[in-house]
């Protein structure tokens, strides 16, 4: 069995993924933005889940979570689920936080990054990006960046299985009640990539939708764009991958 961190697991897809992994017998670390949200994870904690708390819009909080986890038993996998749809936290939460966790956490051999079909509408340009969230960020751009991050990690860390997942437009708090995709299917690919042992789940560098590999935005596998993104994030955070 594996030890797996699921970020943003107080509700929605993260909660469903954490619940499924616990049911499969894995050791799960759940994450909440603050203590109020952490209270929503009591039922998972009662089943043995461990808890970390930190607001991923705050870089110091991300570093604190990374330090806490690095000092504990090593992780086998991370599901980078935490995300926001709009507002100034888009870039800090959707791309800066998973980048920092990827750079700072030792050991995980499986990394799953939550993307979106919206990434196809993202712009492969780093000009003028407000990484600190002083202004509202583009959700589509953030998802293009995190999908590119997943591909870059797959290229640069050959011993790590790094993949991006489009969970579909599902009826979560973020997706809204009218979202047309199947909520039950929304978390299964993340669980499969984080802990599955069949050959397809043991591949790297993929962009997945409901366990089917898809072709992402053409910029995702552009190594020059990957390198520019990593350089920008390293300079912005003072932390190299």
Q: Which of 139, 173, 207, 209 is catalytic?
A: 139
Q: Which of 120, 143, 207, 209 is catalytic?
A: 143
**The length of the chain, given as a count of residues:** 241
- Give 143: exposed, middle or buried? Use CB within 10 Å, 0-12, 13-18, 19+: buried
- Report the alpha-carbon distance of residue 213 to residue 52 in Å, rounded: 32
Q: CA angle 145-27-194, nearest 5°?
A: 35
Catalytic site residue 173? no
- Residue 30: CB partners within 8 Å, gap ≥ 6? 6, 9, 10, 14, 18, 41, 44, 45, 49, 50, 51, 52
Catalytic site residue 207? no
The DSSP call for residue 74 is P
- The residues assigned a catalytic role are 139, 143
């Amino acid at each position: 069995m594996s030890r797996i961190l699921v970020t943003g697991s107080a509700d929605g897809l993260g909660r469903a993924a954490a619940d499924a992994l616990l049911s499969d017998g894995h050791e799960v670390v759940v994450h909440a933005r603050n203590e109020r949200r952490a209270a929503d994870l009591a039922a998972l904690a009662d089943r043995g889940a461990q808890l970390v708390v930190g607001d991923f819009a705050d870089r110091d909080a991300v570093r604190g979570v990374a330090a806490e986890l690095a000092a504990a038993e090593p992780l086998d996998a991370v599901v980078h689920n935490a995300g926001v749809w709009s507002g100034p936290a888009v870039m800090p939460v959707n791309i800066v936080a998973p980048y920092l966790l990827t750079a700072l956490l030792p050991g995980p051999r499986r990394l799953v990054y939550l993307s979106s079909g919206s990434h196809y509408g993202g712009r492969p340009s780093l000009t003028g990006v407000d990484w600190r969230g002083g202004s509202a960020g583009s959700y589509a751009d953030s998802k293009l960046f995190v999908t590119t991050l997943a591909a870059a990690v797959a290229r640069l860390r050959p011993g790590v299985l790094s993949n991006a997942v489009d969970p579909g437009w599902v009826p979560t708090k973020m997706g809204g009640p009218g979202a047309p995709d199947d909520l039950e299917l929304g978390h299964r690919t993340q669980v499969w990539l984080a802990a599955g042992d069949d050959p397809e789940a043991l591949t790297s560098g993929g962009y997945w939708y409901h366990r089917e590999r898809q072709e992402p935005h053409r910029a995702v596998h552009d190594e020059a764009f990957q390198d520019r993104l990593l350089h920008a994030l390293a300079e912005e955070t003072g932390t190299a991958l």
